[in-house]
Amino acid sequence: MHKVSATALSALGVRTEVIGGPRSGAALVVGNHVSWLDILVLSAGTPMLPVAKSEIRDWPVISGIGRRTGTIFLDRFRLRGLPDVVDQVARALRQGYKVQGFPEATTRCGDAIGEFHRCLFQAAIDAAVAVAPVTLQYLDSERRRTTAPAFLGDETLIDSVRRVLALREVHVRVHWLPAIPAIAGTGKPAVDRARLSTLVERAVARDLGVPVVLRTLRRTMPTATAPMSQGRQPGSARNEPARTAAA
């Protein structure tokens, strides 16, 4: 996957600018999710096992690469399968692998990040490894932020690939943030993973300078609860509340 990703990015004309680097050894790598390019960008930087949505199994070429390189597939619509995925991730972490996932569980255009789902963080706690936060920003040939590589709405993968190929240049700024230890101490797994996911979520949002879009409204808010989205969403959904990185 490491070699294939570097070759694919070169063929697509995508250039990376890396600030910092991931910690050595096993780590749960998590960051914001913008495009199908994200997995290639991170895998090209250092070998790691991706956690990807199960729909990728139906994508041409990419599905075959994923199966051959140990990708851990997650069915977002089958919650009963989550414990097994967490166990697979924890097992890989204990074996010394870096495992990469996107806890937003959807892509956004970059104006905000989605509230992080917590299940993957349990794997880091179970394996007693650190979380390596990373942020991705896509820039055009003038080094201005661009949403062109974003993979949103009902767009097909082929359409998105064509749009990327039509760009003169695509630059990706990859910023590795300080590692965050996954320490359990409350005696309650749900509390520990909630603490950890919030720390990582805030670090990512703060570095990007964007708010966090909540999946549901707080009880103190007078409006109705917003449903959790399973699809790819734009960066700032009008019907979802947002909190700042410092919240």
d(CA 104, CA 66): 20
Indicate the pTM of the whole model: 0.80
Residue recorded with tokens 């041409």 = 60
d(CA 140, CA 79): 38
Q: Which residue in 27, 77, 32, 18 sits closest to 49, CA to CA? A: 27
Q: Which residue in 107, 96, 94 sits closest to 31, CA to CA? A: 107
Question: Token digits for 112?
Answer: 């905000």
Task: Going residue by residue through the chain, which has 247 residues, state the pLDDT in tens, using 9 for 90 and above.
Answer: 788 888 888 888 899 999 999 888 999 999 999 988 998 899 898 999 999 776 665 655 555 565 666 688 777 666 676 889 899 999 999 999 999 999 988 887 778 899 999 999 999 999 999 999 999 999 988 888 888 888 776 777 788 888 888 887 889 999 999 999 999 888 899 999 999 999 999 999 999 999 998 876 543 333 333 333 334 444 443 334 444 443 3
Domain ranges of the chain: 2-243
The predicted structure's pLDDT at residue 233: 46
The predicted structure's pLDDT at residue 247: 38
Answer for the pair 196, 180: CB distance below 8 angstroms, yes or no: yes
Other C-beta atoms closer than 10 Å to the C-beta of 209 total 10
d(CA 126, CA 241): 32
For residue 229, give the 3-state DSSP assignment: coil
The predicted structure's pLDDT at residue 66: 57
d(CA 245, CA 229): 21
The predicted structure's pLDDT at residue 94: 96
The predicted structure's pLDDT at residue 203: 96
Answer for the pair 43, 2: CB distance below 8 angstroms, yes or no: yes
Backbone angles phi, psi at 127, to 5 degrees: -90, -5
> Could you tell me which CATH class the domain 2-243 is placed in?
alpha beta
Q: Which helix (H) or strand (E) holds 31?
A: strand 27-31
The DSSP-derived string for 77-97 is T-GGGHHHHHHHHHHHHHTT-
The predicted structure's pLDDT at residue 122: 96
